[in-house]
Chains A and B, each alone.
Chain A
Amino acid sequence: MNNLNSSATPAAGEYAGDEVSAIVLDPGYSSVRAGFAGEDVPKSVCPSWYGQIDSDSGPQYLFGENAIYRPAPNLQIKNYWGADGVVEDWDTAAKLWEYAITSRLTGTRASDPSKNGLNDDPKENGNGEAMDVNMETIENQEKPLEESPLLMTEPGWNPTKAREKAIEIAMEEWGTPAFYLQKTGVLAAFASGKASGIIIDVGASHTSVTPVLDGMVLKKGVQKSPLAGNFVSNQIRLGFKRSQPEIPLTPHYLVKSKTQVDAGSPAQAVYRTFDTPPTDSFRYYQEERVLTEYKESVVEVWPGPGRLSNGTNEEIAKSMPGRPFEMPDGWNQVFGVDRFKAAEGLFDANAALTDDANPRPKDEHTLPRLVQAAVQHVDADQRPILLQNIVVTGASTLLYKFGDRLNYEINNIYPSTRNKLIAPGPVVERKYAAWIGGSILASLGSFHQLWISKKEYEEQGANIVEKRCR
């Protein structure tokens, strides 16, 4: 289980088996992936959403699934990513990343006095042994990552400031001995065993299309768009609102027990009551969980040929059998053509549902146009190579028939070249492609010369990341 897959196993001479294992950190909008280099899946996957409880003594942060799924008064669920796909709240980001690394990889440091057991009984601290333990943990506390080099991923459009901030946190807050920053696009290509290709990454908040040539990102060709997983969720929400009668979206935590009802009938569930109802952001996050289930089991991408709105396609879609879905409160219905509409906006801006809060997406943000724009920035003679290696990654590409539709759209734009989609079958490889690529890269012996050491950082400052990590 700990072996890399066969396509990626490095030759014995290259493999740096005696090196201390590096940690690979791949932060995304929906989840943060962290694990040891050389392993095939990240051991730690932690939601990027975090809980915040404001009190008089300052805000209290809650990380990890266990904390943020539990309804609590005044618990707000937030995300440290900004709307533009760049980390916005660096302080919390650093804390959350550290949580992701320490909670499941290196061991918790004794940072939280209420949890480390040292403060439970004042008597225990009275004797010398407990004090020794205290001293040890304090040392650990200062340097959570002192033993492990860190390879971090970044989106293709990461600004200089954000990159410098990343190395600063790694070096100064975590005390990592070596650091490197690599773009997700390149790593996803590595995970599929490709050095060149077009990487289509449909994540939660953003879709990106990255042309990669010989392991280098063509920076001007990088395209991003906000039409991704969250966009699909919003489309579903809009669809529910539009439907007659409106489809209720009740998250699990409000329901105590549900009762079977006929399709389309109002729910008859026993609801839970709260003294202080959880905040809107908590509810929103919990609703997303239901929508994820809906996306997994109901939503389907119109596979082509043509768009859903073309000709008789919608009629055909209508004639296809619907898929049932049951809400947490027992409300259920069979979704027919509606289930095709939720994701159609990814490919066809005209088909997207809109309202005041959700304006019509821009045409150039749809997937076919993104690919087109990315390819245009590449020299004409390189294009066929890239189009033979179209790597599809990101959890939102798991939408049913997504691959079929993408294949159709690309063949539609480039009918004369040999286009080949590379979409790994196993779900983990799709969801964690960038992390897996990072794991492969950081365990290569030849990679070791690329690390930025602590010494170099101290000599040259944070700007070294611009020179060394291209």
Chain B
Amino acid sequence: MPPFKDEQIIVIAPGSETTVAQLGLPESFTPARLRVRSRMFPAEKPGEWEPYKIRRRNDKPEQPGDGAESRPDGDEAIYEEDRVSEEGAVWPMKEGRIVDWSCFFALITHVYNALNPPFHTPILLIAQPVWTPKEHEKLTQFFFEKFKTPAFGLMDAAMATSWAYGVHTSTIVDVGKDKVDVTAISEFIPHLQGRVMALAGCGGEALTEGLLAKLRSKSWSRDMCEQLKKSPICEILPPDTPLPGTTEASEEQPITNPAAAASTGASASGPAAASAIGNGPRGPGVDTDVGDDANADDEGVLDVASIVTGGKMEEYLAKKEKEKQEKANAKKKGGADTAAAANANKPIRLPNAKRERATFLYEDHRLLDNLKNMNLGSERLAEMQNQLDEGPQRQGEIVNGEPTSAVDANGASDTGNGSNQSGPIRRELEVGTERFMAASNGMLERIADAVHRTISSVDEVNKRSELWDSLIICGNGSRVRGFKEALLATIQAKYLISPSSATMFTSEIPSNISTPAGTGANTPQPQLGPHGGAPSHVNPLLYAATTAQTQHLMPHNPTSHLPGLSHNAHSSHSQTPTSIKLVKPPEYFPEWKDVGFDESAFLGAQVAAKVIFVVDQGQSKGYMTRPDYNDQGPTGIHDYAL
């Protein structure tokens, strides 16, 4: 009998931005049920932490000249949990590293309590690549001593991803909040030496920064940029795609990388040409129209929060009302021009990449915070909120009508707790082509370089081409539209090796290389393989053309006991990569299909948890049990970690 049951297992995946967890493995693996923002608030007592901001609540508006002391309930301050606000939050993880241990432990405890598990629950923790062995020990100690867990396992995030995809050899590019990890995994063994860990300034945060850098001059706040990034109108275009509305867009772009185009079909120029066509019909009328909108827009972006605190609330609301009226009038007149860029209900829809301007709904948390801090009564607060809220009563639906993903909801699934009171105030914001420039700070090139470095440092040279052929881009930082495609195009433009014209035609294809040795297809699979994916083969023609025929030479090793020499020594291989491909996500997880595989590490962890805790009954030493811990102490974890 397996030592544990499916429904007892806890999987926790901490991240710099969001920590996800789940109790129990369902029949068909689902995205994590519990999502928590990875932050805690310092409690009143130092060293203690609260999961939500605690705010003093006032039921009545303060009367001018009539202080709090005179109120009957002055002493009995009522505290309430503010579940939306993030003022003063402490984020225990930065770039994947745990920087504040006491806060981190409090966060894990909060997650654990939120799951409310029974006693006999094994825990599998997804470890960030940057965590050092010493930190693994610290975590092991914490889990065993705090939760008295009967079994504990640590699994590397990159490993988990490869389990999710069911591939034994792959290159995992995990785009996180502030960092990118690139890990080469061959035959389920991560290659630790050349792994690029926590490449700073390349994650989702950098994208926000990139937007902010472009939009700061238009007095956009950081929060606005963050939400813009999460909205579907923000997109990263493949390199050298002209932005809509620019003069280049109308010119035909030369094919920049026929090599990429030839071997993979992903041409760098495709979208460019397409957008050039799409941009053509838009006449000069649009320009004038855009000008108008920009005016209105500038007002909209104004810092409403400070207006409100500045006491000019009424004025602002009045003006807002007037604007709304005007807009409505304009619409009634059938002015399709006005609505062109600003509204989604325009009959003819251009793809986002071809529109110069687009709008999205912005949830103004700061405004809400300010309102709350003004100590208005709850009724008044709700009233003001309703007045300021521009969003239609359809939370989550965004301009293009695309479904918001779980992450877009921002882990704020707990915000919908009943009344409108704590719901965010939404305003409509419009943005121009800046929305395509999130990654213009060279981030894609740096990730591409990291991938090249990682794969080049893999000692088993014959594995490299397979590693190039099985890239996995995951992590919530890569969720931005077009990110994966743009990254792949960048890598291909820089690193793809074209078949050399010199050998392609002059050399014959040697008969003995019909099956490239490098794919590992013949290597025995480790028993643990969850669902071994078919390794992608190198095109033998390409291989032949780029390898030339050293295999013709008589392999005469100096000594008979060097069987591995010819296999591993350099030069028995060709330059890589001759092709670069993304791995297809697995198709048999319907629940994951809808939300995307960006959090596939969690899926992999579920697969792994099922295997190590249930299926193989602990034979593979995938986890440490309490008796083990009692015998060996925290250092023993290294013998068990996956």
- Is A378 close to B, CB under 8 A? no
Q: Indicate whether B140 reaches chain A with its CB closer than 8 angstroms.
A: no
In angstroms, how far is the closest chain A Cβ from the Cβ of B136?
Answer: 10
Cα(A303)–Cα(B555), bound, Å = 10
Give A425 to B558 CA distance when docked, in angstroms: 12
Judged by a CB distance under 8 angstroms, whether A36 is at the interface is yes
- For residue A419, give the distance in angstroms from its CB to the closest CB of chain B: 9
Stretch of B2-10, B71-79, B94-102 lying at the A interface: B94-102
Chain B CB within 8 A of A54 CB: no
Cβ-based interface call for B200 (8 A): yes
Of the residues A2, A256, A332, A421, contact of B559 by C-beta under 8 Å: A421
Contact B47 A296 (CB under 8 A): no
Bound complex: CA A293 to CA B573 (Å): 11
Chain B, residues 430-474, CB within 8 Å of chain A (1/0): the string is 000000000000000110011011001001110000000000000
Chain B CB within 8 A of A45 CB: yes
- A128 interfacial by beta-carbon distance below 8 Å: yes
Contacts A133-B100, A297-B571 known; A320 to B459 CB distance under 8 Å? no
Q: A226 in the interface, Cβ–Cβ < 8 Å?
A: no
Report the minimal beta-carbon distance from B569 to chain A, rounded to whole angstroms. Answer: 6
CA–CA, A334 to B549, complex, Å?
12
On chain A, the residues within 8 Å of B546 by CB distance are 324
Contacts of A42 in B (CB 8 A): 193
B193→A260 contact, CB < 8 A? no
A420 to B560, CA, bound (A): 10
Residues from chain A with Cβ under 8 Å of B99 in the complex: 116-118
Q: Does A326 contact B (CB under 8 A)?
A: yes
**A107/B456 contact (C-beta < 8 A), A323-B548, A334-B500, A403-B558 known:** no
Is A129 close to B, CB under 8 A?
yes
By a CB distance below 8 angstroms, the chain B residues around A398 are: 568-570
Report the bound CA distance from A424 to B497 in whole Å. Answer: 31
Q: Which residues of B contact A45 (CB under 8 A)?
A: 193-194
B133: chain A residues within 8 A (beta carbon): 36, 43, 105-106
Partner of B47, one of A128, A425, A428: A128
Against B, the Cβ 8 Å flags (1 = close, 0 = not) of A407-444 are 11000000000001111111110010000000000000
From B257, B557, B565, contact of A258 by CB (8 A)? B257
CB pair A259 B571 closer than 8 Å: no
The reply to whether B568 and A334 contact each other, CB–CB distance below 8 Å, is: no
B556 at the interface (CB under 8 A from A): yes
- Per the 8 Å Cβ criterion, residues 560-578 of B in contact with A are 562-565, 567-575
Contact A252 B258 (CB under 8 A): no
Residue in A260, A426, A428 whose beta carbon sits within 8 Å of that of B498 in the complex: A260
Contact with A along B464-504 (1 / 0, CB 8 A): 00000000000000000000000000000111011011110
Given A104-B132, A423-B565, check contact A258 B494 (CB 8 Å).
yes
Chain A residues whose C-beta falls within 8 Å of the C-beta of B572 in the assembled complex: 400
B259 touches A259 (CB 8 A): yes
Binding-face segment, A63-71, A83-91, A154-162, A199-207: A63-71
Per the bound structure, the CA–CA distance linking A431 and B457 in Å amounts to 12
Query: A402–B566 Cα gap in the complex (Å)?
Result: 11
Is A404 part of the contact surface with B, judged by Cβ < 8 Å? yes
Report how far A124 CA is from B99 CA in the complex, Å: 13
Contacting residues, chain B, for A130 (C-beta < 8 A): 100
* A425 touching B568 in the complex, CB below 8 Å, given contacts A105-B133, A257-B257, A333-B502: yes
Whether the Cβ atoms of B502 and A295 lie closer than 8 Å is: no
Which one of A36, A324, A325, A398 has the greatest number of beta carbons of chain B within 10 Å?
A: A324
Residue B256 interfacial (CB < 8 Å): yes
A298→B571 contact, CB < 8 A? yes
Q: Is B24 an interface residue (CB 8 A)?
A: no
| B456: contacting residue among A106, A264, A270, A293, CB under 8 A | A293
Please provide the chain A residues from 225 to 258 with a CB less than 8 Å away from any CB of chain B in the complex.
Answer: 252-253, 255-258
For B497, the chain A residues whose CB sits under 8 A away are: 326
Can you list 12 A-B contacts (CB < 8 A)?
A69-B449, A103-B132, A107-B135, A129-B102, A252-B494, A257-B493, A321-B548, A322-B503, A332-B501, A401-B571, A403-B559, A425-B563
Q: Please give the residue numbers on chain B whose beta carbons come within 8 Å of chain A beta carbons, in ascending order.
A: 42, 46-47, 88, 90-91, 94, 97, 99-102, 132-135, 189, 192-194, 196-200, 239-240, 256-259, 262, 268, 445-446, 449-450, 452-453, 456, 459-461, 493-495, 497-498, 500-503, 507, 545-550, 552-553, 556-559, 562-565, 567-575, 635, 638-639
11 new A-B contacts, CB < 8 A, other than A45-B193, A106-B134, A427-B460, are A43-B192, A66-B198, A70-B446, A129-B46, A263-B501, A298-B571, A325-B575, A330-B498, A334-B548, A408-B558, A427-B459
